Amino acid sequence: MKIIHYSYKKRGRIEFWFDQWPNSPVLFTPIKDYYFIRVVKWSQLDPLVTRNDLGEMELMVNKYLGREQYYLQRKYFHNDQLKLPK
């Protein structure tokens, strides 16, 4: 999965397009010091977006924006049963 384009929006939001879903923009919203997926504007021309795909997108975008360290400090990752997306 690769980022093919992104665009800045109001209130610090950023819209990203990924190569596997070129017709489905993903809107990220800043929460604390990292970005979180707010909504996927899914198109029927693209395959379905799974929960694992969403996790990969979040990690990729936060790495791209230099926010990975803050993203990985989320309570979600402090539980031993949960693992990082591949």
For residue range 33-77, list pLDDT tens digits in order.
999 999 999 999 999 999 889 989 999 999 999 999 998 887 666
- Per the CB < 8 A criterion, the answer to whether 86 and 56 are in contact is yes
DSSP reduced 3-state for 76: helix
Domain extent for 38: 3-78
Is 84 among the domain residues? no
Amino acid at 56: E
- How many domains does the chain contain in total? 1
Is 13 among the domain residues? yes
Can you tell me the distance from the alpha carbon of 41 to that of 39, in angstroms, rounded to the nearest whole number?
6
Which has the higher per-residue pLDDT, 78 or 38?
A: 38
Q: Give the pLDDT score at 19.
A: 93
Is 14 among the domain residues? yes
> CA 27: distance to chain centroid?
8
Is 86 among the domain residues? no
Q: Give the pLDDT score at 32.
A: 87
Sign of torsion over alpha carbons 82, 26, 64, 18: positive
